[in-house]
Chain A
Amino acid sequence: MSLFFIVALPFFGALLPGLMNAAGRAACAGVTFTVSLAAFIGLLTNLPSVLAGEVVMARVDWIPSLGLNFTLMLDGLGFFFALLILGIGLLIIAYARHYLSRDDNMGEFFTYLLLFQGAMVGIVLSDNVLLLLIFWELTSLSSFLLIGYWKHLPEGRQGARMALAVTGMGGLAMIGGMLILGQIAGSYDLSVILKNRDLIQADPLYVPALILILLGCFTKSAQFPFHFWLPHAMAAPTPVSAYLHSATMVKAGIFLMARMWPVLSGTPEWFTVVTTAGLATMVLGAVIALFKHDLKALLAFSTVSHLGLITMLLGTGTAFGAMAAMFHILNHATFKAALFMSAGIVDHEAHTRDIRRLGGLRRLMPVTFVIATLAALSMAGIPFLNGFLSKEMMLEEATHTVLFGVPWLVPALATFGSLFSAAYCFRLIGHVYLGPVRDDYPAKPHDPGSGLWLPPAILVVPVVAIGIAPFLAEPFVKLVTASVLGGEADVPKAYFKIWHGLVPALFLSVAAVVGGLLLMAVFNPLLRLWETTPRPEAKVIFEAIVEAAAWLSGKLIASLHNGAFTRYAAIGSVAIVAAGFHAWSTGTIALPTRTPQAAGPVPIAGWLMLVAATCGLVFLHRNRLLSLILIGIVGLMVSIGFVFFSAPDLAMTQFTVEVVTIILLLLALNFLPKRTPVESTVLRRVRDVGVAVAGGLATFALAYHYLLRDAVAPPISEFHLANSYKGGGGTNVVNVILVDFRGFDTYGEIIVLGIAALLIYALTETLLSGRVRARLLNRKPDQPQAGDMHPMMMVVLTRVIMPVVLMVGFYIFLRGHNEPGGGFIAGLIVSIAVVMQYMASGFAWASARLKYPYHGVIGAGVLIAGLTGIGSWFVSKPFLTSDFTYVRIPPFQEFELATAALFDLGVFLAVVGAVMLSLESFSRLARRENMPESEHPMDIDPSRDDPPPDEAGSAREAV
């Protein structure tokens, strides 16, 4: 099966559990299992190629310009991890089916689980580091969802947040490291990076890249000092703990270290950092684990410890270390997942995970006892179980490792860690399963159904099989090791054997087991000592850091982003002034190159009207209605100015926009106070005048300056003029630019317009559903209302004129490509025609005749424009490439058909929809619940104080 399918299956499959949720728990789990199984089988079909030593590749260019390609690679290492992820995943799914209670939403759980599985498979199969980073972040996110799956538990939420914060930060650091690595190697493809060991290690940026990448790996794999999130993640349901936090996700960091081993390892920096972190994690985790009373917490810290062990092995940088690491990953995944699942069974049956309240379960739960004991003994390093083999290899490697120039340091610490490791394993067996049967369990424990014990039992099979017959695993582990080494070193010849003779590792191993037993003998005094020793609590430190960071960013945000308009305006103004000052102080002023054009009487008259209206607006702005009329004059003069300066399209747009804007402001003014009171002091007004005049003078000077000078570089307008007819098939260059040359801009533009309209609609809905509604309902008009709500003259006129306006709009639309006009202007004209009906005949009357909701009109417009653009893909052209042709249908003249017209139709619809939706939303505020829904076009407002006598009669006459 193609690698794409293996990665894609869990992602697409993630849609299914939610759908199957209603079909029952078995169906839900079944479909998840099937999806995983399909991916698992797909992986196995690639086994022959992998065994033959080939590297299976699959490649699709995604964003080649960024070096981001969807490239997948399957070699021994990737296969090994994918096998663990999908194989253990299958067992976990089966286990979770029986573990989750009826109150849990199973569809949600399995959706998250499949998302995680897909992301994880993506990590191990990625051949592109950027792609790998995307999957890496996806695992952090899906892990967040899974840890917080029991949303009602505060521990779950806190644990999820902590895990996301720590692994997310690590992920960010890793992005930086990977980008550096890609820059050094000149490619983001792993297969290329891995071949450039010398180049990368010689680069001065090698150490920063190494540290950043290791930060990502250490946070993900819970290495000291980032180990603290893992125990808190145990608030997740046990299947999640077993899957993510022991077998797979926490191994992602280790996977990456193994993946990068050929290029990053072997340097003193790598050796010191990785080995030290691994060793510290291993010892610390083991010591803490021994004193944990929560079964899952014990296992969590033991996982931390074992991850440290593997990290240390990778840190040594020798081929034997890498082989031991790979072997231990396999062994740890099997016995630890089994242990977690058995802990889940104990929790499920006895209703407690507290070791102090358990004991004697051997007689009550014999099957679970056998499974857990075999797995725990393997973890302790007892011969004939697989943990013994890899642990002995670890000790063997430790005896050859010299850290900080002290030859005994690593072996001593490794043995010390193993000793505690053995001790907590014995404690797990002894305090939970052995001992006398108690009579105070929270629930009567007994062995569960096979659904719960079978998955861990299956995992125990390889634990024993590899332990007795190590040669079974040897070829596979060596294959994986070969792909880790990547040709940088030879695979070690050493055989996997139980008996190596009387080597130092054996003595250390024996010492660890015996020491573990001795520790158990003095456990109670030790525990008292431990509990009286003060220790730093990681969670408290973490929360203090988070709190400090939140406080700091809160301070920062509150000063910049306090919600006050004035603050934003001030920040913006200061930035603009600073930019202007920079330009002023660094630029030069050339002499004028254009001669000023003489102004005739008409422009001067227009200018006078504009200035008069603007000044009038300033002086009369307290009377709000009057100022609306004045601003209408300003807009009108601006549009006349556009006509004068050869911009007919602009003039038409400005003019029509002016109409709808004034209507909009009138609708708003209906609710607002009609006058602005005098409240600022004279001094303050003088200051404001000063600011305003300074700003005005600056813009004046800037505009005047460039109007008298030619552009510094030739503008691209000549291109548009030359190609408008040839390439775009239209003679109106402005319209061709809009729908063709810069069609993508326009497309974005109509989307923004649509979003603005929807925002207005949403705000209206919010207002109408909140406490404002009561205020609106009880609102008394603050000035006398007109007696006839819908004057007859206006009603008749608007209805007669409607078809004419629509025809004009249609005409303007059609001619737009060659003459001034087009979708924007036509849309505004048609909107005005519709608004007129609302104004004249009333909201209810107009709404009742409305067939299409305005949201739909906006959507249709954006869709039509988008589909027109997509259409060009079918002829292998880039998005929004336009085409045109000339056709003749007798008896008409020859005319042009252009795809741009279809795009313009989309623009037209979006504009109509957006304008109408905005205005309609405003009108809805003015409507009251008790308003009579009159079907008649003309009626009299009954709420008026002095109703005219024969209102019904006059209304009837008018119909």
Chain B
Amino acid sequence: MELLVASAIGVMTAAGLYLVLRLRTFPVILGISLLTYAVNVFLFASGRLTTGAPPVLRDGMTVYADPLPQALVLTAIVISFGMTAVVVMIGLGAFLGSNDDHVDDQPDGEEDGAESTS
């Protein structure tokens, strides 16, 4: 099972990196989302894998999953929504302003691109 989780993290990271390298806003946002999943699962897995023992106290139970990474990842998920929303907004604003969804200014339009952003 460890192999499954670790490989899932690896696959999501690789896909996320590839999409980020497309250098257009929408794939970059999707890529960052994939990387977010990967990082969250990675952090979550730092509590090691436990099945059938959620950290909700019950009489008679002695083994629980590690609650700390869960709490940290929970806030990370919510924050990553906020971050995604801001990035999407910036990407959208850039596209609406220049009709171009590359994340970098294109070489031919570099001059006026630099002027309009400054």
The distance from the CB of A473 to the nearest CB of chain B, in whole angstroms, is 60
Instruction: Please tell me if the beta carbons of B55 and A732 are within 8 angstroms of each other in the complex.
Output: yes
Query: Nearest chain-B residue to A767 (Cβ)?
Result: B93
List residues of chain A with CB within 8 A of the CB of B9: 699-700, 703
Given contacts A756-B82, A760-B86, contact A672 B101 (CB under 8 A): yes
Instruction: Please tell me if the beta carbons of A753 and B64 are within 8 angstroms of each other in the complex.
Output: no
Instruction: Please tell me if the beta carbons of A614 and B2 are within 8 angstroms of each other in the complex.
Output: no
Judged by a CB distance under 8 angstroms, whether B52 is at the interface is yes
- A-B contacts, 9 of them at CB < 8 A, read A594-B48, A599-B3, A628-B30, A645-B44, A692-B15, A696-B14, A704-B7, A734-B74, A820-B54
Given contacts A650-B70, A716-B68, A720-B67, contact A699 B78 (CB under 8 A): no
A628 to B84, CA, bound (A): 14
Chief secondary structure at chain A's binding surface: helix
Instruction: Please tell me if the beta carbons of A564 and B74 are within 8 angstroms of each other in the complex.
Output: no
The A889-931 residues at the B interface (CB cut-off 8 A) are: 911, 914-915, 918, 921-922, 925
Judged by a CB distance under 8 angstroms, whether A502 is at the interface is no
Instruction: Please tell me if the beta carbons of A603 and B4 are within 8 angstroms of each other in the complex.
Output: yes
The B14-73 residues at the A interface (CB cut-off 8 A) are: 14-30, 33-34, 37-38, 40-42, 44-58, 64-68, 70-71, 73
Instruction: Please tell me if the beta carbons of B41 and A641 are within 8 angstroms of each other in the complex.
Output: yes
Binary flags per residue of A748-788, CB closer than 8 Å to B gives 1, else 0: 01001100110110011011001110011000000000000
Instruction: Please tell me if the beta carbons of B97 and A695 are within 8 angstroms of each other in the complex.
Output: no
The distance from the CB of A522 to the nearest CB of chain B, in whole angstroms, is 57
List residues of chain A with CB within 8 A of the CB of B25: 672
Judged by a CB distance under 8 angstroms, whether A724 is at the interface is yes
Judged by a CB distance under 8 angstroms, whether A673 is at the interface is yes
The total of Cβ contacts below 8 Å across the A-B interface reads 301
The distance from the CB of B63 to the nearest CB of chain A, in whole angstroms, is 10
Instruction: Please tell me if the beta carbons of B26 and A676 are within 8 angstroms of each other in the complex.
Output: yes
Judged by a CB distance under 8 angstroms, whether A746 is at the interface is yes
Binary flags per residue of A802-841, CB closer than 8 Å to B gives 1, else 0: 0000000000000000111000100010000000000000
List residues of chain B with CB within 8 A of the CB of A676: 22, 24, 26-27
A642 to B47, CA, bound (A): 12
Instruction: Please tell me if the beta carbons of B82 and A752 are within 8 angstroms of each other in the complex.
Output: yes
Chief secondary structure at chain B's binding surface: helix
Query: Nearest chain-A residue to B58 (Cβ)?
Result: A731
Quick one: which of B25, B82, B104 has the most chain A CB within 10 A? B82
Instruction: Please tell me if the beta carbons of B47 and A717 are within 8 angstroms of each other in the complex.
Output: yes
Q: Please pick, from B18, B19, B71, B86, the residue contacting A737 in the complex, using a CB distance under 8 A.
A: B71
Extra inter-chain contacts (8) besides given A680-B22, A695-B13, CB under 8 Å = A565-B28, A565-B104, A614-B11, A618-B15, A638-B40, A672-B95, A721-B55, A759-B86
Chain A positions within 8 Å of B, measured between CB atoms, are 563-566, 569, 594, 596-599, 603-604, 607, 610-611, 614-615, 617-618, 621, 624, 627-628, 631, 634-635, 638, 641-642, 644-650, 653-654, 657, 660-661, 664-665, 668-669, 671-673, 676, 680, 688-689, 691-693, 695-697, 699-704, 706-708, 710, 715-717, 720-721, 724-725, 731-734, 737-738, 742, 745-746, 749, 752-753, 756-757, 759-760, 763-764, 766-767, 770-772, 775-776, 818-820, 824, 828, 911, 914-915, 918, 921-922, 925
Given contacts A634-B12, A731-B56, contact A649 B21 (CB under 8 A): no
Query: Nearest chain-B residue to A675 (Cβ)?
Result: B26
List residues of chain A with CB within 8 A of the CB of B92: 668, 671-672, 922, 925
Instruction: Please tell me if the beta carbons of B34 and A617 are within 8 angstroms of each other in the complex.
Output: yes
A657 to B85, CA, bound (A): 11
Query: Nearest chain-B residue to A635 (Cβ)?
Result: B37
Query: Nearest chain-B residue to A624 (Cβ)?
Result: B26
Query: Nearest chain-A residue to B59 (Cβ)?
Result: A731
Instruction: Please tell me if the beta carbons of A696 and B17 are within 8 angstroms of each other in the complex.
Output: yes
Instruction: Please tell me if the beta carbons of A921 and B89 are within 8 angstroms of each other in the complex.
Output: yes
Given contacts A692-B21, A696-B14, contact A824 B74 (CB under 8 A): yes
List residues of chain B with CB within 8 A of the CB of A776: 96
